[in-house]
Amino acid sequence: MTFYKSLMAASVVALLGSAAPSFAQTPADQLKVAYQAARNQLGILGYCADKGYTDAAAAEVQKKLIAMIPAPADVSGGDAAEAAGRKGTISVMGMGQNIEAIAKATNGTAATYCKQIGEVVKQIGAKLPQ
């Protein structure tokens, strides 16, 4: 069951970080979607830290990942995506799902889900150039 939950967390990271841009039409659209997804994940990590489920280290890594994505001219979509994440909603291309609902659907808890997302982000961060 732990493997399944880890796979689920990794899938969410992949969805937010790379799969969502494939739905966008132009390179500019793809960057915008990637930026918004990354900002949403930053909000999710903030939500998790606020709840005491993770520490701030994953959010710091996420900020570094965001810095690698060229910000669109209009960052309001990223601001909205991050705000949704801060409320516990994973939001990609207009579709949202609450962390609590995802946890319930996988017979887990929000705390476990948050810890797994945080760990996956930290693992990705460990592979970044220093």
For residue range 2-58, list pLDDT tens digits in order: 433 443 444 455 444 444 444 558 888 888 999 999 999 999 999 999 999 999 999
Band the pLDDT of 94: cuts 50, 70, 90. confident
pLDDT reported for residue 23: 54
pLDDT in tens, 65-77: 999 998 888 899 9
Residues 6+ apart with CB under 8 A from 86: 43, 44, 46, 47, 50
Total domain count, the chain: 1
What predicted TM-score, i.e. pTM, was given to this entire model? 0.79
Q: Is 87 exposed, middle or buried (0-12, 13-18, 19+ CB in 10 A)?
A: middle
pLDDT reported for residue 112: 93
Which structural domain, as residue segments, surrounds residue 109? 2-126
pLDDT reported for residue 29: 85
Nearest to residue 18, comparing CAs of 32, 34, 6, 3? 34
Q: What are the start-end ranges of the H helices in the chain?
A: 2-14, 27-50, 57-67, 76-86, 99-105, 110-126
Nearest to residue 120, comparing CAs of 79, 103, 112, 99? 112
